[in-house]
Structure 1
Amino acid sequence: MKLQGALYPWRFRIVVALLALMVGAIAWRIVDLQVLDQGFLKGQGDARSVRHIPIPAHRGLMTDRHGEPLAVSTPVTTLWANPREMQSAQARWPELAEALGQDPAGLHQRLKDQAEREFMYLVRGLTPEQGQRVLDMEIPGVYAHEEFRRFYPAGEVAAHVVGFTDIDDHGREGMELAYNEWLAGVPGKRQVLKDRRGRLIKDVQVVKNAKAGKALALSLDLRLQYLAHRELRNALLEFGAKAGSLVVLDVKTGEVLAMVNQPTYNPNNRRNLQPAAMRNRAMTDLFEPGSTMKPISMSAALETGRWKPSDLVEVWPGSLRIGRYTIRDVSRTEGRELSLTGILINSSNVGMSKVAFDIGGAAIHEVMRKIGFGQDTGLGFPGERVGNLPTHREWRQAETATLSYGYGLSVTAVQLAHAYGALANDGRLVPMSLTRVDHKPEGVEVVSPQVAKTLQGMLQEVIEAPRGVFRAQVPGYHVAGKSGTARKASTDSRGYQENAYRSMFAGFGPMSDPRIAIAVVIDEPSKSGYYGGLVSAPVFSRVMSGALRLMNVAPDNLPPEDVKTADADKSKGGRI
C-alpha cells in the first residue's frame, strides 16, 4: 500500500499491524477456549451453578454402663426462606405463619426487614413430618434442610452429668462439653446444581460421606441414678432444704455409679431454665465438711502408732478453751473419758482436738493431702473445683483443732465420696472416672491397710453402737460411715450464718467386702431438724440398701435363721 501525500506512511502501517495482531489474538483465544481448553469455561460455569451442600453428621450415642441411652441424636427439619424471593408471594405469608405457629405480624415484619437478603431461618428443630407439611404448601421461597437434635431419655435425672448441646449441636454443659470432640461427627459434602436464584436443579453426587460421632459409655448405672434422684428429692421435700447432692462411687474401680443434684432441670425443655439449676453442685459447690473429716484425722493418729482405738481421752466438761475460742461438743458424752472409737460415735470435737494436739496439724494435713483434698480429682468435668486445704508454716492449736473436726477447709461432695472410697478400699486411692472402666486400676496407697481396716471397724461401730447413727443402718448388711453437721459461712461478712447448716453423711458397705461409697450433702434443711444423722443418714441408708440389692450383693448381716434359709436356697440353685 502506497499512501499519496503522507508525511509518515510507516505510522499507518504500524497501526494496521497492531490491529491485525489483536484480531488474531482474540481469534486464537476463542479457538483455545472452545476447542483446546474447554475446562476453563466449564469451570466458570460450574462456579456459578455448582454448589456444595453439607451433609449433617449425628453425634455419637451416650449411654450408661449397661448400654441404656442417655443422649441420642434424632433427625429434625429446619425451614429457611429466601426473603427476596418471597416478596412476590406476600398474600401467602399469613398462611405460612399459621402453619409455623408464629405471629403473622411478627413474621411479616421479619420478611420485610430482610427483604434484600437471600437467607433467613423460619424455624429450627421441627419433626420431619411437621417440616414436610409446610413444604407441601409449595410457598415460593421456603426451603428446608436436615439437621440433628439431641434428645435425653433420662431427662432431669441425669442432666447434671450428661449436660446438653446448643441449637447447633455443640456441647455446652456436662459430658457433652467435656467430650465434644469425641462425640461430634464430621459433616459430609454433597455436590448439587442450582440456578441463579439458588433453587436446586440437580443433585450431582456425594463428594464426602458424613462420619458419625463416636459412642461414649459413662460409668453411671441408670438404675442407681434414678434411685439416688428419688431419695434425694424426697429428703429435700421432707426437711424443706434448699439444695442437695449425692454421689455413689465404686470403691474398687473409682467409677461414679450415680451423681445427682437438687434442684435440677429438664435438658429437653430449657425455655424456663434457671442458671442455678444447671450447676452440678456435687462438683462445683464447696463446703466445710464438719465431722465427716474426723475419720480422716483419726487415721492420721493411728498412722503414728502412738494411738489405738481403745485409748482414752478426757472430754469432760464438754468444752475446751483455746485463747479467745471455745471448742464445744454438741451432744453430751458417756462419762468423763472417751476412747478413739467413742470420739467418733459421739462426734466429740473436744476429744478429736486433743488427739490432734498430740500428733500435730501437719500430720493431719498430710493425710488429707494424700487422700485428695485440695486437688483435682482428674475427672475432667467442666467447672469442677478443687477446694481448699490450708497449710501453715506453724500449726497453732486453733488451726490444728478446727482442721481435725472439718472446719477451715473446703471440699466437694465428689472429693468426700472419693476419700471414703479410699478408706473402704483398704487405704488405696484409685483414680475416679465418669466413663466406664474395663480394667481395674491399681491405685495408690494413701493409708496403710492395717489402719484402714481398723478405721473400717470403728466406723461400723459409729452406725451399729447403741449411741450410733442408727438411721444409717441398712437391713441385712453391715455398713460404716460418719455424719457431719456444719454451719454455713456468711457470704457478706466474716463468720457464720445464723440457723443455716449443711447436713452430711458419708459411708460405705458392705463390710464383708466394701463395694460402694456414698456421700450425701443437704443444704439448709429448715424443717424437723438439721443434724446430719437425722437428715442425711436416712438417705444414705435407703440408697445403700437399694444399690446393694440392684448390684446383687449378698447380705452379710442376716439373722441366723435367715442365713440357714439362704444357704439352703443356694444349695438348691436358688438366688440369694
Structure 2
Amino acid sequence: MSNAEDPTVQTHAARSWRIWLVVVLLVLIVAGITSKLLSLYGDDQAFLRSQGDARTVRTMLIPAHRGLITDRNGEPLAVSAPVATIWADPLRTDLQHTGLSRLSHLLEIPSQSLMADLRDNRERRFMYLKRQVTPELAEAVDELDIPGIHVDREYKRYYPAGEVTTHLVGFTNVDGEGQEGLELAYNQSLRGEPGRKLVLKDRVGRTIKHIRSIQAADPGEDLQLSIDLRVQYMAYRELKAAVEVHQADSGSVVVLDTRTGEVLALVNQLSYNPNDRSNLNTSALRNRAMTDLFEPGSTIKPFTVAAAMMSGQYTRDSIVDTSPGYIRVSGATIKDFRNYGELDLTTIITKSSNVGVTKLALSMEPDAVRNLLQNVGLGRDTGTGFPGERTGVLPFLNERQRVERATMSYGYGLSTTLLQLAQAYVPLASDGIMHQATLLKQEQPPTGKRVIPPGIAPQVLEMMETVIGPRGTGRRAAVDGYRVAGKTGTVHKASGGGYAEDRYVAVFSGIAPVSNPRLAVAIMIDNPKGQEYGGGVVAAPIFSRIAAGALRLLNVPPDKWPEPAKDQVAMQ
C-alpha cells in the first residue's frame, strides 16, 4: 500500500492543515486587534476621548455674587447671601430610594406630591424642587446621596435696612436680576459675570471630581449711594408716624445736601419689606418722591419773588398794594386769607399773599417766572437715572394767558415731584448755584451752575426765614439752636376737572441753617384727614424734627443762640 493510500498519513496531513489554518487565523486576529489598538491609541484617540468626555465631563457655572450696595458711610443696604437650589433629573431619579421620604421632609413637600411630580415628569431632565434654601439644608440634601437629586450653589439678595431704604434700593427676582429701584437701574454692573469650571460626573449626574477652572467668577461692582442711613432711618420714622397720626393716604420726605445736591435721605409711605414680599401691596412699590406729581402750591412763591428781583423792577423793600384782599384776573378771582393791605416783598412771603405774587408775576415778562422755575429744575428730569422718574409739567405761557401766569406764581397749574422741589431749593441755599440732585456719593465737590444772579438768593432766604417767625405760616418748623428758612404750601387736590374742597396736599420745603446752609428738606403729605390739613400744621412739624436730628447727626454747629433774659442784661 502506497503512502498516498495510507489512512494514517492522510489523517496527519489533514490535522497539519487545520493547525496551520488555526495559526493563520490567530495571527490575523492578533494582527487585527493590534491594528485596532494602534488605531484607538492613534487616529481615533481624540474622537473617543471626546465621546467619553461628553458622557462624563461637564462645564458648570460658578455663580458670581452681585455687587454690594452701601450708604455713604459704608453701611450695607443690599448684600448677597449664599443659598442653594435643589433640583431633580426625573429621568435619573431612583424612585425606590429610601432617602426620598427624608428629602420630602427637609424640603417641606408632601411625600406623595413629591413622588407624583417625579413620576409625572419622568421624561424631563430638569425640574426645580426648591430654590434659595439655606446652605445647611443643602448640605443635608447632599448627604442623602439620592441619584438624580442635585444641589446648585447660588446667592440670594438680602436688604439689612428693610422697608426703610426699599424705594431707593429696590429688589431682585429669584434669578438675581434687578426688578425695582437702583437694583434695576444698575443691574448690568451689579450682577457680575459667572465663572466656569470642568467637573467629572458619574452616570447618574453626581459630581465626583473637579477637573479645572476655566474662568473665575467676576463679582459685580459695588455701588455706594449718597444717602446717610442714620438720617434715612430718622426721616422714615418721623414720616411714618405723621402719616398714621393724620390718617393720610401717603407721604414722602427728601433731604438734600445743599453743597453737593446729594440725596441724604429719601423715604415714602406706604412702604414694604423687600425681604418678605409674600403679602406685597403693589401700591406700596412706587417711589412716590420721584414718580408722583403734585401741584407745589405756595412753596413756589419764593421763586416768584426772586424772579421779580431779577427783573430789576423790584427790591426787597418794594411795596405792593394787595387791597382789598383779592384781585380779578380775566374774570377769575384770586384771594388772600384776608386783606393785608400794602406789603413789601418780605411780608408777601411771610403772609403767603396770593394777590401779592399775582401782581408781581403780571407786571413782568410772561415767561419770567417760568424760566426761573425751569432753571432750578422743574419740568425736567433730575438726571438721577432712577427707573420711572417723572419730569413733571411746566407749561409755556404767553402774554394773553393771564390767569395761568397768575396761578403759576403761587404754585398752581404746574406739577412737580418732591425730589424736584427739594432740588429747586438748593440754589436758594447756595447763592444761586444749582447742584443737580444725585443718588450716588460724590467723591469730588461738583462745580454747579449759576441760575440766580449773586446776592439775590441770600435776600430771598432771609425773607423765607420770617415764615418761621411768630408772624409766619411755618412757625412749627422752628429748630432749637438753628436759623431756619422755609415755605409752607396747602394745595387743594385736583378732582373731576376742578379742585376738591375737602382734600388737600400739605407741603413744606425748608433750608437749615440759614447762616451756612447745609440741608434742603422737602415734605409732602397726601390727603391728611382730620382737623389739621395745612402745610404749616402737618408738614412743618415733620421738618422741625427731621432737620433737628439731621443737623446733630451731621455735626452742623448751631447758629442761633438764646437771647439773654432781661434781668441778666440789666445785671451786666
Superposition TM-score, scaled by structure 1 size: 0.89
Contact 1:33 1:40 in 2 (8 A): no
SS at match of 1:47: helix
Q: Does the alignment pair 1:355 with 2:370?
A: no
Q: Tell me the alpha carbon deviations over residues 397-437 of structure 1, each in whole angstroms, 9 at most, x when there is no partner.
A: 10110111111111000000000011111111012211110
Contact 1:360 1:400 in 2 (8 A): no
Match for residue 427 of structure 1? 432
Contact 2:147 2:205 in 1 (8 A): no
For these two proteins, the number of residue pairs brought into alignment is 535
Match for residue 469 of structure 1 among 474, 478, 495? 474
Quick one: distance in 1 between partners of 2:474 and 2:517? Answer: 19
**What letter corresponds to residue 386 of structure 1 in structure 2?**
T
Quick one: distance in 1 between partners of 2:308 and 2:424? Answer: 17
CA shift for structure 1 position 135: 2.8
Contact 1:290 1:405 in 2 (8 A): yes
Quick one: distance in 1 between partners of 2:192 and 2:396? Answer: 46
Match for residue 365 of structure 1? 370
Match for residue 240 of structure 1 among 247, 256, 268? 247
Match for residue 416 of structure 1? 421
Match for residue 541 of structure 1? 544
Match for residue 391 of structure 1? 396
Q: Does the alignment pair 1:345 with 2:350?
A: yes
CA shift for structure 1 position 515: 0.5
Match for residue 123 of structure 2? 116
Shift in alpha-carbon separation, 1:108–1:337, aligned structure 2, 3 A: farther
Contact 2:94 2:146 in 1 (8 A): no
Contact 2:85 2:151 in 1 (8 A): yes
The more displaced of 238-247 and 395-404 is 395-404
Contact 2:148 2:205 in 1 (8 A): no
Match for residue 516 of structure 2 among 510, 513, 516? 513
**What letter corresponds to residue 316 of structure 1 in structure 2?**
S
Match for residue 162 of structure 2? 155
Give the share of equivalent positions with the same residue, in percent. 49
CA shift for structure 1 position 247: 0.3
SS at match of 2:301: helix
Match for residue 93 of structure 2? 86
Q: Does the alignment pair 1:332 with 2:333?
A: no
Shift in alpha-carbon separation, 1:87–1:37, aligned structure 2, 3 A: closer
Match for residue 130 of structure 1 among 134, 137, 140? 137
The more displaced of 344-353 and 308-317 is 308-317
Quick one: distance in 2 between partners of 1:105 and 1:526? Answer: 54
The aligned runs of 1:1-400 (5 Å cut-off) are 31-36=38-43, 38-86=45-93, 88-89=95-96, 93-329=100-336, 331-333=337-339, 335-400=340-405
Quick one: distance in 2 between partners of 1:529 and 1:437? Answer: 40
Q: Tell me the alpha carbon deviations over residues 229-271 of structure 1, each in whole angstroms, 9 at most, x when there is no partner.
A: 0010111111111100100000111100000000101111111
Match for residue 480 of structure 1? 485
Contact 2:67 2:192 in 1 (8 A): yes
Quick one: distance in 2 between partners of 1:487 and 1:500? Answer: 6
CA shift for structure 1 position 445: 0.5
Quick one: distance in 2 between partners of 1:313 and 1:392? Answer: 24
Which structure 2 residue ranges, 5 or more long, are not aligned? 1-30, 566-572
Match for residue 499 of structure 1? 502
CA shift for structure 1 position 150: 0.7
SS at match of 2:487: strand
Quick one: distance in 2 between partners of 1:551 and 1:520? Answer: 20
Which structure 1 residue ranges, 5 or more long, are not aligned? 1-23, 563-576
Match for residue 533 of structure 2? 530
Match for residue 19 of structure 1? none
Quick one: distance in 1 between partners of 2:391 and 2:481? Answer: 37
Q: Tell me the alpha carbon deviations over residues 530-565 of structure 1, each in whole angstroms, 9 at most, x when there is no partner.
A: 100010000011100101111111100012569xxx
Superposition TM-score, scaled by structure 2 size: 0.90
**What letter corresponds to residue 320 of structure 1 in structure 2?**
I
**What letter corresponds to residue 479 of structure 1 in structure 2?**
V
SS at match of 2:200: strand
SS at match of 2:95: helix
SS at match of 1:166: coil
Contact 1:388 1:409 in 2 (8 A): yes
Match for residue 6 of structure 1? none
The more displaced of 319-328 and 284-293 is 319-328
Contact 1:157 1:225 in 2 (8 A): yes
Contact 1:220 1:434 in 2 (8 A): yes
Q: Tell me the alpha carbon deviations over residues 367-400 of structure 1, each in whole angstroms, 9 at most, x when there is no partner.
A: 1111111111110011111111000344421011
Contact 1:362 1:395 in 2 (8 A): no
Quick one: distance in 1 between partners of 2:75 and 2:209? Answer: 41
CA shift for structure 1 position 113: 2.7
Contact 1:89 1:140 in 2 (8 A): no
Quick one: distance in 1 between partners of 2:348 and 2:37? Answer: 101
Match for residue 16 of structure 1? none
SS at match of 2:378: coil
CA shift for structure 1 position 468: 4.0
Shift in alpha-carbon separation, 1:95–1:195, aligned structure 2, 3 A: closer
Quick one: distance in 2 between partners of 1:69 and 1:200? Answer: 35
Shift in alpha-carbon separation, 1:472–1:194, aligned structure 2, 3 A: same
